[in-house]
Amino acid sequence: MMTYAEVLEKLKKASLLGSVLGLSRIEKLLEMLDNPQDKLKIIHVSGTNGKGSFSAILSSVLTEAGYKTGVFSSPSLMTVNDSFRINREIVSDDFFADIMSDVFEKAEQMPDSPTEFELLTATAFQMFYKAECDICIIECGLGGDTDSTNVIKSPVLSVITNVQLDHCGILGNTLSEIARHKSGIIKNNCPVLYGGNRDEAFEVISKKADDLNVKLFLTDKTLLSDVNVTINGTEFSFGNYKNLNLSLVGSYQSENAVNVLTAIEILKKYGFVIADDALCKGFEKTVWQGRFEIVRKNPPVIFDGAHNPCGMHETVRTVKNCFGEGKTAVLMGVMADKDYNLYADMIRDIADTVFTVTPDNSRSLSAVELADYFNKNNVNATAYETFADGLNASLEYVEEKNIPLIVMGSLYMYREFRLNLK
């Protein structure tokens, strides 16, 4: 068996292949592993925003209901194995290395080498099978139809949280095109939940469901009421569910939560036993890093991985809910393939000044380019050469002004943020 360090080194080499869409390599690799995905009960989750929060909330509820629950999500935040959780806990380095050793042994026999994400996807299926999980929640990495997670033949439930414009260079420039990719996770005679509200996407998803003889469920957002977002969490009611308390903060989290409640009602129809007590405890115990995560309280320091315009809009709305109309400082780094040219108008109301940094990713927009964009659009911004310099400058600024610091943009900043936060 390889050590954890050896596994990381091999993954680093695999990452040089980049992202290659298609299912031929992952199907071959899983076949060599005796198709562990076919032996699991799986909830398959796609969507533009909310996949991570949806999965974290649902897995917490299922865990409280007594089901051994595995979750595979991406990207990783601090270490590669935090993409893999069982009963809310990150899997150990040793267990991760043990499973990955098996996966690498098979992958090295393949003439067409699997990508890093394909290796991790195969590891998730093998890991949850070996751990004897009762139910697994598997998030798509990108899109749906050609994503390497889309080897699941008969999911217990397919979920499309919503459809927004994102990854347009790969998935298409219209909601219909993007919905077509995401609806690729719908399988014959397996129920699907659509939690979004875009008619253009709904038409595509409903047609796919009809074509495959699938029962399509929708989240009735009109039943959502009494939403109260504070720095301590999110309170809301949904139909017969009254005064629920979710530990996660965010104007958008109530919508993620009602998608979970709808999914729970579907799962009950298919034989899952989930008591109201387990539901309430699951909501209260949910932990999800990097999504309006409050890491300090005086002055407030918050990290939110809002990675596209829709996510950014919701982050700004949450800031206003929690802090009123007062100004904040913003530390931001983004990917070059995002519609960052919309961000100035979005954050102008909340940003006293912006500190720009370059996330540790080959697709990143440079801090200088981002600062230039903001300054040209009448938002005061300063670029910093290193993440540590930008973080230290922003922390000094908010301590002097006694205002909140909102660290927002790419989740690829999260590791550097936590490592450099003194």
Closest CA to 93 of 84, 81, 102, 105: 81
Q: What is the CATH number of domain 293-420?
A: 3.90.190.20
Q: Where are the domains of the chain?
A: 4-285, 293-420
Q: Are strands 233-238 and 224-230 parallel, antiparallel or unpaired?
A: antiparallel
288-319 pLDDT, tens digit each: 999 999 999 899 999 998 877 888 888 999 99
82-103 pLDDT, tens digit each: 999 999 999 999 999 999 999 9
388-399 pLDDT, tens digit each: 999 999 999 999
Name which residue leads in pLDDT, 5 or 340: 5
- The CA-atom distances, in angstroms, between 319 and each of 156, 190, 284, 349, 394 are 37, 39, 21, 10, 17
Cα–Cα dist 118/23, whole Å? 9
Which one of 3.40.50.720, 3.40.50.700, 3.30.420.40, 3.40.1190.10 gives the CATH number of domain 4-285? 3.40.1190.10
Per-residue confidence band for 167, with pLDDT thresholds at 50, 70 and 90? very low
2-18 pLDDT, tens digit each: 999 999 999 999 988 77
Confidence at residue 173, expressed as pLDDT on a 0 to 100 scale:
67
Residue 170 has pLDDT above 70, yes or no: no
Per-residue confidence band for 164, with pLDDT thresholds at 50, 70 and 90? confident
Per-residue confidence band for 168, with pLDDT thresholds at 50, 70 and 90? very low
Spatial strand order of the sheet with 84-86 comes to: 89-90, 84-86, 69-72, 135-139, 42-46, 157-160, 192-194, 216-218
Cα–Cα dist 360/358, whole Å? 7
Q: Average per-residue pLDDT in the chain?
A: 93
Per-residue confidence band for 165, with pLDDT thresholds at 50, 70 and 90? low
Residue 19 has pLDDT above 90, yes or no: no
Say what the pTM is.
0.91
